[in-house]
Chain A
Amino acid sequence: MTTDELVRTQGTPDTVVHRARRALRGLDRRFLPVLGTVLTLALMLGMGQQRYSTERVDFISMKLLSNLLVDNSYLLVLAVGMTFVILTGGIDLSVGAVVALVGLSIAEMFGAGLPLPVVLVVGVLIGTSCGLLIGVMVQVFDIQPFIASLAVMFLARGLANVISVNSLKIDHPGFSELAAWSLKFGEGRQLWRINASMLVALAVLAIAFLVLHFTRFGRSVYGLGAGDGGAAVNLMGLRPARTRVWVYVISGTCAGIAGVLFALYTKSGFNLTGIGMELDAIAAVVIGGTLLSGGVGFVLGTGAGVLVYGLIQVLIAREGLDSWWTRVFIGVVLLAFVILQRVLAVRRR
Chain B
Amino acid sequence: MTPTTPAAAPPGPSRAGDIWREVTHHGLFWPVLALVLLLLACGIASPGFLDVTVRDGHLFGQLVDLLRNSATPLLLALGMCLVIATGGIDLSVGAVMAIGLAVSLTYLDNAADPSNIGTVLTAVLLGLAVGALGGAFNGAMVAGLGIQPFIATMILMVAGRGIAMLITQGQITTVTSPPFKTIGSGFVLGIPTPVVIAVVAFVVVAFVVRRTALGMFLESIGINREASRLAGVRSRQTTWTVYVIAGLLAALAGLVYGAPTMAADANNIGLMKELDAIMVVVLGGTKLDGGRFYLGGLLVGAMLLSSLERAVIIFQLPSQTTPLFKALVLIVVCVVASPTLRSMLRGRRRADRAQTPASPVEPADAVGVTA
A binding-site residues for B, Cβ under 8 Å: 88-91, 93, 137-148, 150-155, 157-159, 161-162, 165, 224, 229-231, 233-234, 239-241, 244, 271, 275, 279, 282-283, 286, 292-293, 322, 324-328, 330-332, 334-335, 338-339, 342
Closest Cβ of chain B to A241, distance in Å, is: 5
**Are A339's CB and B145's CB within 8 A?**
yes
**Are A141's CB and B334's CB within 8 A?**
yes
Q: List the B side residues contacting A91 at CB < 8 Å.
A: 150
Instruction: Decide yes or no whether B40 CB sits under 8 A from chain A.
Output: no
Closest Cβ of chain A to B295, distance in Å, is: 19
How many inter-chain residue pairs (CB < 8 Å) link A and B? 170
A198-B254 Cα distance, complex, nearest whole Å: 41
Q: Which of A137, A155, A279 contacts B334 (CB 8 A)?
A: A137
**Are A327's CB and B147's CB within 8 A?**
no
Which residues of chain B from 309 to 362 have a CB within 8 Å of any chain A CB? 318, 320-328, 330-331, 334-335, 338-341
Interface size for chain B: under 10, 10 to 19, 20 to 34, or 35 or more residues?
35 or more
Q: List 17 A-B contacts (CB under 8 A).
A: A141-B335, A146-B288, A148-B334, A151-B331, A154-B323, A158-B326, A234-B367, A241-B368, A275-B271, A275-B272, A324-B165, A326-B162, A327-B161, A334-B155, A338-B141, A338-B147, A342-B147
Instruction: Decide yes or no whether B157 CB sits under 8 A from chain A.
Output: yes
**Are B371's CB and A144's CB within 8 A?**
yes
Instruction: Decide yes or no whether B363 CB sits under 8 A from chain A.
Output: yes
**Are B366's CB and A141's CB within 8 A?**
no
A326-B165 Cα distance, complex, nearest whole Å: 11
Q: List the A side residues contacting B325 at CB < 8 Å.
A: 158
**Are B289's CB and A324's CB within 8 A?**
no
Interface centre among A142, A159, A240 (most CB of B within 10 A): A142
**Are A140's CB and B363's CB within 8 A?**
yes
**Are B369's CB and A151's CB within 8 A?**
no
Q: List the A side residues contacting B330 at CB < 8 Å.
A: 147, 150-151, 154
A155-B282 Cα distance, complex, nearest whole Å: 17
Q: List the A side residues contacting B89 at CB < 8 Å.
A: 146
A286-B320 Cα distance, complex, nearest whole Å: 32
Q: List the B side residues contacting A326 at CB < 8 Å.
A: 162
Q: Which of B150, B271, B338 contacts A143 (CB 8 A)?
A: B338
Q: B160 — nearest CB in chain A belongs to which residue?
A: A331
A324-B164 Cα distance, complex, nearest whole Å: 9
Closest Cβ of chain B to A95, distance in Å, is: 14
Instruction: Decide yes or no whether B198 CB sits under 8 A from chain A.
Output: no
B binding-site residues for A, Cβ under 8 Å: 89, 141, 145-148, 150-152, 154-163, 165-166, 170, 271-272, 275, 278-279, 282, 287-289, 318, 320-328, 330-331, 334-335, 338-341, 363-364, 366-371
Tell me the interface secondary structure of chain B in the complex.
Answer: helix
**Are B324's CB and A155's CB within 8 A?**
yes
A307-B322 Cα distance, complex, nearest whole Å: 36
Q: List the B side residues contacting A140 at CB < 8 Å.
A: 340, 363-364
Q: List the A side residues contacting B147 at CB < 8 Å.
A: 338-339, 342
Closest 4 CB pairs of A and B: A331-B159, A158-B324, A327-B162, A161-B320
Interface centre among B161, B340, B366, B371 (most CB of A within 10 A): B371
Q: List the A side residues contacting B151 at CB < 8 Å.
A: 286, 292, 334, 338
**Are A165's CB and B323's CB within 8 A?**
no
**Are B364's CB and A241's CB within 8 A?**
yes
Closest Cβ of chain A to B326, distance in Å, is: 5
Q: B161 — nearest CB in chain A belongs to which residue?
A: A327
Closest Cβ of chain A to B359, distance in Å, is: 18
- Contact A139-B364, Cβ < 8 Å, known A283-B154, A338-B151, A342-B146: yes
Q: List the A side residues contacting B156 at CB < 8 Å.
A: 331
Q: B146 — nearest CB in chain A belongs to which residue?
A: A342
Closest Cβ of chain B to A342, distance in Å, is: 5
Q: List the B side residues contacting A162 at CB < 8 Å.
A: 318, 320-321, 324
Q: Which of A93, A148, A229 contacts B368 (CB 8 A)?
A: A229
Q: List the A side residues contacting B271 at CB < 8 Å.
A: 275
Q: List the B side residues contacting A241 at CB < 8 Å.
A: 364, 366-368
**Are B324's CB and A161's CB within 8 A?**
yes
Q: List the B side residues contacting A230 at CB < 8 Å.
A: 367-368
- Contact A147-B158, Cβ < 8 Å, known A231-B367, A292-B151, A324-B166: no
Q: List the A side residues contacting B326 at CB < 8 Å.
A: 154, 158
Q: Which of A141, A239, A293 contacts B341 (CB 8 A)?
A: A141
Q: List the A side residues contacting B275 at CB < 8 Å.
A: 93, 150, 153
Closest Cβ of chain B to A231, distance in Å, is: 6
**Are B162's CB and A147's CB within 8 A?**
no
A148-B155 Cα distance, complex, nearest whole Å: 23
- Contact A147-B155, Cβ < 8 Å, known A161-B323, A229-B368, A244-B368: no
A337-B158 Cα distance, complex, nearest whole Å: 14
Q: List the A side residues contacting B155 at CB < 8 Å.
A: 331, 334-335, 338
Q: List the A side residues contacting B278 at CB < 8 Å.
A: 146-147, 150
**Are A143's CB and B334's CB within 8 A?**
yes
Closest Cβ of chain A to B143, distance in Å, is: 13
**Are B338's CB and A155's CB within 8 A?**
no
Q: List the A side residues contacting B339 at CB < 8 Å.
A: 142
**Are B145's CB and A327's CB within 8 A?**
no
A199-B316 Cα distance, complex, nearest whole Å: 46
Q: B288 — nearest CB in chain A belongs to which residue?
A: A144
Q: Which of B163, B323, B341, B368 contacts A139 (CB 8 A)?
A: B368
Closest Cβ of chain B to A154, distance in Å, is: 4
Closest Cβ of chain A to B7, distance in Å, is: 18
Closest Cβ of chain B to A249, distance in Å, is: 15
Closest Cβ of chain A to B12, distance in Å, is: 28
20 further contact pairs, Cβ within 8 A, besides A324-B162, A324-B166:
A142-B338, A142-B364, A147-B288, A147-B334, A151-B334, A154-B324, A157-B324, A158-B321, A158-B324, A229-B370, A239-B366, A271-B320, A283-B158, A292-B148, A325-B166, A328-B159, A331-B158, A331-B159, A334-B151, A342-B146
